[in-house]
Chains A and B, each alone.
Chain A
């Protein structure tokens, strides 16, 4: 039996603590945690709850709307990245002026009885999501309490 041939080298080589595997493991763990933490901190969200009591299938709203604020976002074929922003008849050149307008408007969106008038975001189908999120973002920042997305009314369901 080959017994004594490696004895000497074992004694001299493996007596001291080998740090390499531990360092490897620590690096692996570091890489794993760095990756996972990075993924988690990337994203946020904007709450945009649909009206609970009047879904898409409900009947049309018959209550008179006293005052409606509608942010219209229009698409133009010639400049697809430039969104035309309108509130009523007034056109806004950029998002900052819309923000100032909405900030000035927010108090008038609460009636004396405490009801909150929602701001409707009415965007063309082709508008990039970023523009709609900009409008939503501005409403949140300006302190608007309720925002809704305007929906195109389709033909009444067949009975």
Chain B
């Protein structure tokens, strides 16, 4: 006695859609310049709704070499208790790649050159916006290093990433 041997396509379609969604999200994360950062909170922050397409993103994140645990950084119930002051743990990352300060300077000069006029031999300030997305517990030193590099590259449109706390 043979009963329903018809091919049920539903599970296969489910899996195919799961794969499509996974790949779409994964591809998005690979291309997007953002890293997982606990941004500082600021209620005067303006919504980042229509960012300039040419904007260049610099992330400052906490990354311990060898994925070991940081001896300094401590959170209790999601609240920062002790910041990390180890210089090597705060890295500057652009599109997933860690850059040193000289590399960052070179990169900003190259990126700045894509949107600036040259008057004779001298360069004019670049209109390329740069967003610094720094962790709220990162030392300010890292931001000054990025600002210095931006100053050297004559990049002046600086935006500092911040999280707007939800309104009560």
| Interface, chain A (partner B; CB < 8 A) | 5-6, 9-10, 13-14, 18, 20-21, 24-25, 28, 31-32, 35-36, 41-52, 55-57, 80-81, 123-134, 136-137, 140-141, 149, 151
Contact = CB atoms under 8 A, between A and B. Distances in A.
Given A32-B21, A43-B39, A48 B158 contact: yes
Contacts of A48: 158-160
B139 A35 contact: no
Contact of B160 (A36, A46, A51, A52): A46
B48 to A, nearest CB: 5
Nearest to A53: B125
Contacts of A151: 144, 147-148
B6 A9 contact: yes
A25 B14 CA distance: 8
Contacts of A14: 6
Interface string B124-168: 010000010011111111111001101110111111111110000
Interface-central residue, A10, A50, A52, A123, by most chain B CB under 10 Å: A50
A9 B3 contact: yes
Interface stretch (B63-71, B77-85, B93-101): B77-85
A43 B163 contact: yes
B45 to A, nearest CB: 3
Given A21-B13, A45-B48, A125-B139, A130 B41 contact: yes
A136 B136 contact: no
B44 A46 contact: yes
B2 interface: yes
Given A46-B42, A55-B152, 15 more contacts: A13-B4, A13-B6, A21-B9, A28-B20, A28-B21, A44-B42, A44-B46, A50-B150, A50-B156, A55-B151, A128-B136, A129-B142, A137-B162, A140-B44, A149-B147
Contact of B42 (A5, A13, A56, A133): A133
> B13, B17, B163: which has the most chain A beta carbons within 10 Å?
B17
Interface string B1-30: 011111001100110011011001100100
B3 A133 contact: no
A133 B125 contact: no
B139 A130 contact: no
Nearest to A140: B44
B162 A5 contact: no
25 contacts: A9-B6, A20-B10, A21-B13, A21-B14, A24-B13, A28-B17, A42-B163, A44-B45, A44-B163, A46-B44, A46-B162, A50-B150, A55-B156, A81-B80, A125-B141, A126-B140, A126-B141, A128-B136, A128-B139, A129-B40, A130-B137, A134-B40, A134-B42, A137-B45, A151-B144
Contacts of B10: 18, 20-21, 24
Given A10-B6, A44-B47, A125-B144, A81 B154 contact: no
A131 to B, nearest CB: 8
A130 B136 contact: yes
B43 interface: yes
